[in-house]
Structures are given as structure tokens and as C-alpha cells.
Amino acid sequence: MTPDGKHTLRRIKSFKDLERFKESIIAKEGPDATCVTICSVPGCGVSGSRTIYEAFLKEIKAQEEEKNIIVRRTGCQGFCEMGPIVTIRPRNIFYRRVSAEDVPEIVEKTLFNGGLVERLLCEDPQTAKGVVNEEDIPFYKKQLKIVLRNCGKIDPANIGDYIKMDGYEAVAKVLSKWSPEEVIDCVKESGLRGRGGAGFPAGRKWESSRNAPGEEKYIICNGDEGDPGAFMDRSVMEGDPHSVLEGMMVAGYAVGAQKGIIYVRAEYPLAVRHLATAIAQATDLGLLGRNIMGSGFDFEIEIVKGAGAFVCGESTALVLSIEGKRGFPKPLPRPNTSIVGLWGMPTVLNNVETFACVPAIILQGASWFNSIGTEKSKGTKVFALSGNVKNTGLVEVPMGTTLREIIFDIGGGIRGDRKFKAVQTGGPSGGCIPEHLLDLPVDYDSLARVGSIMGSGGMLVMDENTCMVNMARYFLDFAQNESCGQCTLCKLGTRQMFEILMDITKGEGRADDIEVLLELAGAVKAGSICGLGQTVPNPVISTIKYFREEYEEHIHDKRCRALVCRALITYRIKEHKCKACLKCLKACPVEAIIGGKWQVHEIDQSKCIKCGSCMEICPSKFDAVECIAGGVGDQ
């Protein structure tokens, strides 16, 4: 296997060929190889990971001593807050926030002399000491990686790396030993539910397609996440694309399909490129195409680029989009795509995360996967932990892990040690969960009971400085723009809800607005034919349920306790602290500050646009500007 991913074996024609190929890769690397892995996804890329990669190659080459060192660019290693990340394996030394300037020291100290660069280690918040090994870092301790098992360890553009990690052995196993019915039984027994949001049992879906009549059958992988803030599926496509291909192949064998399609956002160029490379490599080796490994099974995969429409997360809309039509959900009662899907044929449609679980289930066994999680939600779930939390990044935990464990044990608690206020799960359509529910186990049913959803796996943490009314307005703004317009109640109802929320945040709310919002939310849910309209009212419903007093303060008292809504706050200068330094006067963009040198300043409220420039520039030692809840005249 060469560094660019080209193989030395022309074609894998049998199961034994796959085994020999794996052995040759391991032998070529050698038992004493040291691997430097560098996170190279867009986030770390912007921070200079490519430069770091090139610096390692240059520095290692410059050393006179010969050592078996492999430098590998990988997918996301999860701990995005600490990027760019460099890990030295097999010692699992974890260096964070690495720059190209750090590379000579890492090469000299760690790679050639076995020492540590202490300043690049993560600090344990309890002991304030550096943590050497990745598995001992609090962010990783409670995680269990199944979907992300290879991300951050392999070069996604090198099929040999994947094969070395038991890649394509699940396909070899089912093609050589199992009937299609046995594969479906295994997936059913595992308890795997679709990770796309609805949580429908994957095995039952596959069984429906296998038993449905049709001249052709299809496998579709939905990689076009509806939530632009979540990046779980994108990270798997970028960091471990072959696991997705292998999961689709297993599904294809199980249901009798010979064609797979990956529907992915065109705005994810790295994911598209890595998927295309993986498909080309697998086809070149004979792991995709005709008569795979001499089994008689034919399967090919192609990529279809989507335009990122949120509504195309609904199965019938996605199918229409692939067919070249406008992505409208079909009206109720609509056919089940498992039976009548692409081109009217039986179609299995699962998302990236679901397919990535399949090879691990086949190799480890249904009972192993079934033993993880809760009674009705098996396995793990990947979340994009973001917002006002110290440790942002990708988190994979067993189903049933509590919100408190994810946010405080893994996430490290609230940024700036402020007070936790709420967490939203499931992306723009998810509900906001308050502090008293922090011990809620995260699974499909528990989230549904409190008015939220698993959804795309987004997990947005909010602190005390978050205005819940403004947060609901923000998500309604996204939702009403994403509505396809087919359902009148969805299109117009979400717009009317958004306008009411806008009025409330501007201090123009009316006494009956809360009840009107709830009535509209119920109508939108009942009158929508797809999941978008049925779930987008969740942020409004949940914030009213758990934070109703904030709505009432906005409407009746004209106050925003979080000091977010501009119309409901006031900036003023504290006379006894103002030193007349002129900084705020010069910084004000609308000349709303009155005063001169040696004169205590004052804000002309008729001109003030509530931009906060005065408060930002006022020296902290003076602390002369304050922001208080309530509009002008309400003090």
C-alpha cells in the first residue's frame, strides 16, 4: 500500500484475498510503527492542520535517524474545542491546539526520544495536571465509539487503512456464511433504530423491502442533514466513508438490491470527495461492482448531490429529489418508501449513522449491540455538543446517558462557569429542556416525553444569558424559511408564529400572544403532512411550557431578563464611576453619548440603538456602563 492509497494487489477476488490484503498492509507498516494522526476536517483545517501535516513530513525527513513513523491525515477526532489535534499512536499521546511551530519539538521530544511536550497536553480540571493519554481525558472517558470508531484513526482517502481496521469483513462474513434472512434477523435482534430522527427499527424496514415485490430494489443513504448546525453524518462521511459503503452493501445483500445511492449536500465538498474516492477505491479493488469477492453478489453505489433543503429529510421528498423532481413530501396517505420508493420500487432509506453501525453489529453480534443502551433505544448516539459549553465537539455515548453526564462530565460544564439554563436536542425542530430535567436519560422515548426529539443529533447548550423567547424566534425564523409551502398551515402558520415572537421581542407583545402561539403550534402540527411541520413548533411549545414567565415578562413588564432583546433593555452610565475618559463617546456609532473631557458622560436614550459598544469599550477597572432589563421609561 503506497501513501496515496494505491494498492499493490490488483483485485480482491475472494474472501481469502481480503484477509491476505489486510495481512500485507499490517506487515508493511510493521509492528513497531508509530503513527502521527492529524485532524484535517474543515474546522481544524482552517486552524492550520495542513501546514502541521507538511511540517511533520519535513521535520521527520530532516532527522538523520531512521524511524518507522507514519504521518496520517484523519477525519474529526471529536474534541473540536481543542483543535488542531495531534495524536501519537499506539501510545495515544494527545496534543491539543498544536501549531506548525510546535512540530519540531514534538518530533524531537516525543517521536525520537519518547518524552512529552507538557504544554500541549490537555489539563484535567480536577487536578490541574496534564493528561497524557486520550482515553484518560474527561471528554472521552464516558464515550463509547461505535459510529465514530475509526474517525480520527484512519486516513479516509486510503482504503488500506479501513481494511486494516477489519474493514469489509462484515460484508465478507454475510456473503460467505449468512442468508439475507439471517442478516435481517441480526439487525432486528440488535435493536438498531434509524438514527435519522424518527427512530424506526432498521431491521423491520429492511424486512419490508425484502418482502415487497419489485423488479429492482434500492438502498439510499441520506447524508443531507437538515440541521446546518449539526455535523455528525458529515463527519462520518469525511472521516470514515468506507463504513457507510459497507453498511449499504450489507443492506443491499439483505434486501436483494444491486444499487445504492448516497444523497449528500453539495455544500459538503470534502465529504463528497472522500465518498467518491472511497467508491472508486472499493470498485477498483473489486469490493464494489459485479461478483463481489466471488460471491455472485452485485452492488454499485453512486453519489447524488442535494441542495440542502431541510424538507428533503422526509423520505418521499428525498426520493423525488433524487429522481430530478422538486423535493415535495407526498400528500397523505402516502406510500411507504420501503415498499414504493425510488422509481416506484422498494427502497431502504437510512441515514449515515445508521449504516455506519451495521458493520460493527455484524462483526460483534446482535446481542453485543443490544446490551448497550436502554430497553427501547439500543446502541449509541452521536451528538454535536455546542453552545455555551466548555468542551464542544462530537460526542458518542450509550443511549440512556443523562443530559447532565453529557453536558457536565463530558462537556465540562458551562462556559465561564455561568449557570445552566436549558439544552435543546434534535436541531431546529427540537425542544428546549430546562435544568430540573438534567438527569433525563437521553433516548427516543424520554426525549419525546418532555417535548423534544432525537432528531439530527444536535445538542445546543444555553446559559443564563440566553433569552428563551428570542431562542424560539430564532428557530422559527429558520423553520418558516425552510417550509416547502405545500401545507398552508405550515407555511403561513410558522410565519405568523415568527411574527408574533418578533413583536414580543420588540416589546410589542399582546396579552393573548402566548395562547395564540400555542393554538397556532397545535394547528401547524395537525395540518402538516411531513415531519418538518409536525416538529417545528417544538421550540415554541417547550419554551412556553418550561419558561412561560419569560414570555410574560416580555409581554407585560417589557423586560428581557437575559438582556438580549434590544427593545427591552437600557444602557446607562453610572455617574459615580464615570471617569470622563471619552472612550465610549468616541466608540458610539450614533453619537448618543453626551459629555466632554472632565464631564461625566450620559447616554441620550432617544438616539441609543442598544449596540453595546459603550459597555464593551469602557475599561473594566471603571465598570461605568451597565445594561439593565427594561426599556426606557420602565426603570
Per-residue pLDDT, averaged over 359-372, amounts to: 97
Per-residue pLDDT, averaged over 430-455, amounts to: 94
Q: Are the C-beta atoms of 495 and 533 separated by less than 8 Å?
A: no
Dihedral sign for Cα 618, 624, 627, 633, please.
negative
Pairwise pLDDT comparison (231 vs 491), residue with the higher score = 491
Q: Are the C-beta atoms of 534 and 528 separated by less than 8 Å?
A: yes
289 torsion bin: left (phi>0), alpha (psi -120 to 50), beta (else): left
Closest-CA residue to 292 (of 301, 283, 281, 303) = 283
- Domain 159-370 belongs to what topology? Rossmann fold (3.40.50)
Q: State residue 632's pLDDT score.
A: 52
Q: State residue 259's pLDDT score.
A: 97
Q: Write b or e for each residue in 578-593: b if 16 or more Cβ atoms lie within 10 A of its Cβ, otherwise e.
A: beeeebbbeebeeebb
Rounded CA-CA distance 591/603 in Å is: 9
Closest-CA residue to 426 (of 322, 537, 330) = 537
Q: How confident is residue 230, by pLDDT bands cut at 50, 70 and 90?
A: low
Q: How confident is residue 154, by pLDDT bands cut at 50, 70 and 90?
A: very high
% of the chain beyond a pLDDT of 70: 96
Neighbouring-strand partners of residue 462: 422
Q: State residue 90's pLDDT score.
A: 92
Q: Does the pLDDT value for residue 329 go beyond 60?
A: yes
Q: State residue 158's pLDDT score.
A: 95
Q: Write b or e for each residue in 90-127: b if 16 or more Cβ atoms lie within 10 A of its Cβ, otherwise e.
A: eeebbbbebebebbeebbeebbbeeebbeebbbeeeee
For 282, 435, 454, 602, the CA distances from 422, given in Å and listed in that order, are: 45, 6, 16, 36
Q: Which helix (H) or strand (E) holds 5?
A: none
Q: Does the pLDDT value for residue 153 go beyond 90?
A: yes
Q: Do domains 159-370 and 380-463 have the same CATH topology?
A: no
Q: Does the pLDDT value for residue 16 go beyond 80?
A: yes
Q: Does the pLDDT value for residue 231 go beyond 80?
A: no
Judged by average pLDDT, the poorest of 65-79, 140-154, 356-370 is 65-79
Per-residue pLDDT, averaged over 332-343, amounts to: 89
Q: How confident is residue 4, by pLDDT bands cut at 50, 70 and 90?
A: very low
For 8, 29, 89, 281, 284, the CA distances from 4, given in Å and listed in that order, are: 12, 14, 20, 11, 14
Q: Does the pLDDT value for residue 564 go beyond 90?
A: yes
Q: How confident is residue 246, by pLDDT bands cut at 50, 70 and 90?
A: very high
Q: State residue 332's pLDDT score.
A: 79
Most confident of 101-105, 128-132, 481-485, 488-492: 101-105
Q: State residue 445's pLDDT score.
A: 93
- Delimit the domains of the chain by residue range: 32-134, 159-370, 380-463, 468-557, 568-629
Q: Does the pLDDT value for residue 635 go beyond 70?
A: no
Residue 335 C-alpha cell reads as 406510500
Rounded CA-CA distance 614/583 in Å is: 8
Other Cβ atoms closer than 10 A to 313: 28
Tens digits of residue pLDDT in 380-412: 999 999 999 999 999 999 999 999 999 999 999
Q: State residue 1's pLDDT score.
A: 42
Tens digits of residue pLDDT in 589-626: 999 999 888 899 999 999 999 999 999 999 988 899 99
Q: Does the pLDDT value for residue 52 go beyond 90?
A: yes
Q: State residue 265's pLDDT score.
A: 85
- Domain 380-463 belongs to what topology? Ubiquitin-like (UB roll) (3.10.20)
Tens digits of residue pLDDT in 113-146: 999 999 999 998 888 899 999 999 999 999 999 9
Which of 507-512's residues contact partners 24+ apart within 8 Å by CB, and which partners? 507/554, 507/558, 507/565, 507/567, 507/568, 507/631, 508/567, 509/551, 509/554, 509/555, 510/555, 511/555, 511/556
% of the chain beyond a pLDDT of 90: 78
Q: State residue 62's pLDDT score.
A: 86
Q: State residue 74's pLDDT score.
A: 95
Pairwise pLDDT comparison (220 vs 233), residue with the higher score = 220
Which CATH number among 3.50.50.60, 1.20.1440.230, 3.40.50.2000, 3.50.7.10 corresponds to the domain 468-557? 1.20.1440.230
Angle between helices 232-239 and 241-255 (to 10 degrees): 100
Q: Does the pLDDT value for residue 197 go beyond 80?
A: no
Judged by average pLDDT, the poorest of 177-191, 316-330, 356-370 is 316-330
Most confident of 5-19, 67-81, 173-187, 518-532: 173-187
Rounded CA-CA distance 244/236 in Å is: 8
Q: Does the pLDDT value for residue 522 go beyond 90?
A: yes
Per-residue pLDDT, averaged over 210-227, amounts to: 88
Rounded CA-CA distance 480/537 in Å is: 10
Q: Does the pLDDT value for residue 435 go beyond 50?
A: yes
Q: Does the pLDDT value for residue 2 go beyond 50?
A: no
Name the architecture of domain 568-629: 2-Layer Sandwich (3.30)
CA angle 272, 391, 451 (to 5 degrees): 80
Kindly report the CATH number that applies to the domain delimited by 32-134: 3.40.30.10
Per-residue pLDDT, averaged over 406-420, amounts to: 96
Q: How confident is residue 456, by pLDDT bands cut at 50, 70 and 90?
A: confident
